[in-house]
Amino acid sequence: MSDPGSANHKPVVSIVKCDNYESISVSKAIRSSIDGLGGILQFVKPGNRVFVKINLLMGSKPEEAVTTHPAVIKAVIEILEEAGCKVIVGDSPGGPASKGRLERAYKKSGVTQALEGTNAELYMGLGGIRTPYPNGKLIKSFEILDIVPKVDKIITLPKLKTHMLTGFTGATKICYGFVPGMAKATYHSTLPDPDDFSDMLLDLTQLINPTLAIMDGVVGMEGKGPSGGEPKKAGAIIASTSAPALDIIATNLVGLDPKDLPILRNAISRKLVSGKLSDIEIVGDKLDTFPFIKFEPAVRKKKGGMRIPRPLRRFLVKRYMNKPVPSKNKCIGCGDCMRACPRECIQIIDKLAVMDYEKCIRCFCCHELCPERAIDIK
């Protein structure tokens, strides 16, 4: 990652207006955003194997704004193939991993269809490899997808969304998908505090070190993201080699304060980014030319409140923090939440999810992965 504190270098973020998902509009905006950074051949070379890491999370229809839109995926594939690259597209969504589950998620989200007419292939791997990262602040090794050492370049396609645990999911949080399947549950279980979890994500992003991130901000998600919120138009494609710098621009675009979001607050404290717009070189369209946009945050900040010290937060979380609550009218007892829970604190009784709140760590995995949106946060 770039060092925003360097006197001679600013991270560069390219932002381009894009009002809809028509293929011509999306392709033009993505090409323009990449050209603003020097063009695609600044990042890949002919013959490179490139892994395009999408934001899948779960099988969701494109219009629900949970996943990277297929129009964005297809446009990026076409650009890379024109550059002579071999493209592999994929992700490891949350919850238990299986080839059938992955195939269904790809198809429902329009990913399978996005590859039609291209030479790209879908990543169907389920395994991981243990990779040391001695430079990590919190985590010194990770289990990551086995595709990582097999490719020359990695490009991520994050979706602009709020997030119940980390406040925001973007170019940094998307790297959590490099942790395979239920291995994600280990980090949720051992790092229930949002700041600790965010430090892990920053370590992971530095380990993966994507070549480029291109954010789908045409329609994002506000409120109880990353899956239970509401779609909201942001009208932008944003690209950068710096994940935290891209996330700073994205949050400013939708009226979120980076210092209220654990991922970016920690990135600022670690000096991965200053948090100031003046320390980022913005190319393409200027932020002040976009219409005023205000996303509803995932968690409302209490007026006059103060940040609780981390050790005390861990002690108070089970007593006072909002908790996941299944809806008797929506829950169908499918068991997806039970299988995804890192603390195994959910049972299905009489076709209804029942929570053990003494064991619950408020990671909200159940909320994220419920296909029926049957788990609210109260």
Reported as a single tens digit per residue, the pLDDT across 259-293 is 999 999 999 999 999 999 999 999 999 999 999 99
> Domain locations in the chain?
12-289, 322-377
CB-based contacts of 278, cutoff 8 Å, min separation 6? none
- Average the pLDDT over each of 34-43, 103-112, 358-367 and give the range with the smallest value: 358-367
Cα–Cα distance for residue pair 43/123, rounded to 1 Å: 21
Structure-token pair, residue 81: 């193939």
Average pLDDT over residues 53-80: 97
Q: pLDDT-derived band of residue 335, with 50, 70 and 90 as boundaries?
A: very high
Q: How confident is the model at residue 13 (pLDDT cuts 50, 70, 90)?
A: very high
| 12-289 and 322-377 in the same fold | no
Query: What value does the mean pLDDT take over residues 248-258?
Result: 97
- Reported as type and span, the H/E element at residue 372 is none
Confidence of residue 127 (pLDDT cuts 50, 70, 90): confident
Q: Region 352-363: what's the mean pLDDT?
A: 90
CA dist 370 and 273 (Å) reads 34
Cα–Cα distances in Å, from 330 out to 60, 112, 282, 365? 17, 29, 44, 17
Query: Does residue 302 surpass a pLDDT of 50?
Result: no
Band the pLDDT of 91: cuts 50, 70, 90: very high
| Average pLDDT taken over every residue of the chain | 91
**Cβ contact 85:49 at 8 Å:** yes
Asked if residues 265 and 259 have their Cβ atoms less than 8 Å apart, the reply is: yes
Nearest to 126 by CA among 99, 149, 162, 151: 99
Confidence at residue 4, expressed as pLDDT on a 0 to 100 scale: 39
- Report the CATH architecture of 12-289: 3-Layer(aba) Sandwich (3.40)
Q: How sure is the predictor about 98, in pLDDT bands with cuts at 50, 70 and 90?
A: confident
Per-residue pLDDT band at 314 (split at 50, 70, 90): low
> Nearest-CA neighbor of 72 among 40, 37, 108, 114?
114
| pLDDT over 70 percentage in the chain | 92
Cβ–Cβ under 8 Å, residues 4 and 272:
yes
Q: First CA to last CA across the chain, in angstroms? A: 37
Q: What's the topology of domain 322-377?
A: Alpha-Beta Plaits (3.30.70)
Within 84-127, residue ranges assigned H as helices are 99-108, 111-114
Q: What is the torsion angle, in degrees rounded to the nearest 10, for the CA atoms of residue 221, residue 222, residue 227 and residue 231?
A: -40
| 44-58: burial string, b at 16+ Cβ within 10 Å, e else | beeebebbbbbbbbb
Mean pLDDT calculated for residue range 33-42: 98
Report the C-alpha gap between 275 and 260 in whole angstroms. Answer: 11
Query: Can you tell me the distance from the alpha carbon of 32 to that of 14, in angstroms, rounded to the nearest whole number?
Result: 9
Euclidean distance between CA atoms 253 and 291, whole angstroms: 9
Task: Work out the pLDDT band at 304, boundaries 50, 70, 90.
Answer: very low
More confident residue, 278 or 359: 278
Residue-wise pLDDT for 154-172, tens only, equals 999 999 999 999 999 999 9
CA–CA separation, 128 and 149 (whole Å):
11
Angle (nearest 5°) at CA 97 between 372 and 60 = 35
Least confident range from 1-5, 44-48, 251-255: namely: 1-5
What mean pLDDT is predicted for residues 181-199?
A: 91
